[in-house]
Structure 1
Amino acid sequence: MSSGAHPVLAAAADAASAAYRDVRSKHSREELAETVFDGADGTPSMFVDVVVEQAIIEAATSLGVNVLSEERGWVDVGSAVTLVVDPVDGSANAAAGVPLSCFSAALAVDGRFTEALTSWLHTDERWWASSTSSAYRTSGRREINGAAVSLLRPHARNQAAWGRVAGAAARVRVLGCSTLDAVFVATGASDAFVDAGSDTHRLMDLAAAAVLVPASGGAMVDAFGRPFEFDPDLTRRWSGVVAATPELAETLCELISGGIDPAAEE
């Protein structure tokens, strides 16, 4: 990480890594996956999520930074700086013992994302970038032909769009960890990652990508053209398109948006 990085990012990542290792060493898969309550984003919160999130909140607030997280929601300490965090992205993977889960966070200063950090919880490998600087570069791919694309799993309402993207790509992956998928795009390991119109992505799923990927030469947009912005309303949803170039992102949006109504219900 850059010496100019905000200290709360490293502190929160350290807290997440330690809590994740500790909770996994002490609890069974069934205990880790147990639903504790419905989180602030309206989705079930697993035990592993809640334990890791609590450690992050304590670390961040001790440094005088607000926290916006999917389980507890808004934790306001009166700062202009807010940590938008996904404590354990890929919770189902983490609980099951599949080593594909991440701590991921972006820093918002007066509502503007300025820097981000994603940490692979299994290895503690970390990727940091600011809105103006990144050590990584995307693959630079502009066309869907030959592209390696990761997707979220399909839902009933977006099966056709999912099939169009999968059919156009040369290689398809479904990893179950959006923030790690975004890192792979930023570092050139993959060409794109998309939610093919299911409107599953929340603010914390895309916040780090919104910093990391554009700074690395790529693009992060919503498939239906909706602005992605800091908002403490965790009921908002997007269909994120993370791509190596703006040109590839545009092509993916065209594939996804044809015949899909983003307001349609399951």
Structure 2
Amino acid sequence: MTADLVLGDVHPALADTCRAAFEALAEAQQRYGRAELSAETRMGADGTPTMLIDDLVEQRILAAARTHGINVLSEEAGFVDLGSALTLVVDPVDGSANAAAGVPLSCYSAALLEDGKPIEALTCWLETGRSIAARVGEPAPYRTSGARRLAGQALSMLRPKHGARGDTAETWMQLCRRAGRVRILSSSCLEAMLVATGAVDAFADPGSDTHRLVDLAAAMVIMPIAGGHVCDAFGRPLEFDHDLTRRYSGVVAATRELADEIVEVINS
């Protein structure tokens, strides 16, 4: 991997764990092939299979977090309690299927909590080193596009699939018909990052209840600061807790108005 990692002024625990993920992914891709990296090693704490690539990157993140003495909530390991006031809520490799296959669309994404309340977040595009970060109560050097309506706008989505509520294909098509451009990048955290910086107007899970807290944690901190909005399509509150079995259909949009329109389509 030849990309440079430039994180800027972020909390040392975020910087070090992100750097660990960046280096671990590069080493894993050099050492193992596609079939090996995508091989399932165990069942993760979130109730979904863990790939080798997830394991390799997460272990490096956990080691880096231990040097700071902070708790970690991660999709594979679950809650690792070190008795700290600080907790890192992290998705070690969002888009692990992409990363295992050599498709350069994966992210490290994390929110840092103090006494259960978010204080800072960081998302890093692992194949390029590009990152965005935000601190609660401080301005960010980027903004969403400000789009208020879906017509003609750029929309990213999860692929249509069968979920807990049935087949999302028709809802997916309804959203496609309204949008001007549609993409499937298979990395929710990267797609949320693109919404925050104005490259994409919105991202949505069209009703499959695929997202967990770790998929949305950084966006929950970053989007309000960037002028955007994050919600669950079915009105469930997004909460920072330790329950990785809880599922959401996340909607990340440039504005509250745009999010509301997407939610209306999903619920129709």
Alignment TM-score > 0.5, same fold: yes
Determine which of 196, 210, 219 is the counterpart of 2:229: 219
**Following TM superposition, by how much is the alpha carbon of 1:147 offset from its aligned partner in structure 2, in angstroms?**
1.0
Correspondence for 2:60 = 55
1:20-99 superposed matches below 5 A: 20-99=25-104
**Following TM superposition, by how much is the alpha carbon of 1:146 offset from its aligned partner in structure 2, in angstroms?**
1.1
SS at match of 1:48: helix
**Following TM superposition, by how much is the alpha carbon of 1:255 offset from its aligned partner in structure 2, in angstroms?**
0.5
Determine which of 244, 259, 266 is the counterpart of 1:234: 244
| Code of the aligned partner of 1:99 | P
**Following TM superposition, by how much is the alpha carbon of 1:160 offset from its aligned partner in structure 2, in angstroms?**
2.0
| Code of the aligned partner of 1:183 | M
CA distance in 2, matches of 1:112, 1:257: 30
Correspondence for 2:119 = 114
**Following TM superposition, by how much is the alpha carbon of 1:219 offset from its aligned partner in structure 2, in angstroms?**
0.3
**Following TM superposition, by how much is the alpha carbon of 1:243 offset from its aligned partner in structure 2, in angstroms?**
0.3
1:7-31: CA deviation from partner (whole Å, max 9, x where unpaired): 1000001111111111111111111
| Code of the aligned partner of 1:221 | C
1:193-229: CA deviation from partner (whole Å, max 9, x where unpaired): 0001110000100001111111100000111111101
CA distance in 1, matches of 2:175, 2:112: 32
Correspondence for 1:264 = none
CA distance in 2, matches of 1:250, 1:200: 19
Correspondence for 2:105 = 100
Correspondence for 1:168 = 178
SS at match of 1:84: strand
1:109-258 superposed matches below 5 A: 109-132=114-137, 133-156=139-162, 157=166, 158-258=168-268
- The answer to which of 104-113 and 234-243 deviates more is 104-113
CA distance in 2, matches of 1:250, 1:223: 9
**Following TM superposition, by how much is the alpha carbon of 1:2 offset from its aligned partner in structure 2, in angstroms?**
5.4
CA distance in 1, matches of 2:252, 2:240: 17
What is the TM-score of this pair, normalised by structure 2? 0.94
- The answer to which of 81-90 and 132-141 deviates more is 132-141
C-alpha RMSD over aligned residues: 1.0
Unaligned runs of 5+ in 2: 1-6
Superposed structure 1 runs of 4+ greater than 4 Å apart:
none
SS at match of 1:210: helix
**Following TM superposition, by how much is the alpha carbon of 1:71 offset from its aligned partner in structure 2, in angstroms?**
0.5
| Code of the aligned partner of 1:42 | G
| Code of the aligned partner of 2:198 | G
CA distance in 1, matches of 2:257, 2:158: 21
1:151-202: CA deviation from partner (whole Å, max 9, x where unpaired): 0011132222212111111110000000000000000000000001110000
| Code of the aligned partner of 2:227 | G
SS at match of 2:214: helix
1:95-152: CA deviation from partner (whole Å, max 9, x where unpaired): 0000000111111112212211111111111111122331110000001111100000
CA distance in 2, matches of 1:147, 1:227: 27
Unaligned runs of 5+ in 1: 259-266
What is the TM-score of this pair, normalised by structure 1? 0.94
- The answer to which of 131-140 and 33-42 deviates more is 131-140
| Code of the aligned partner of 1:196 | P
Distance change (3 Å), C-alpha of 1:2 and 1:94: closer
Aligned length: 257
Task: Give me the identity figure in percent.
Answer: 56
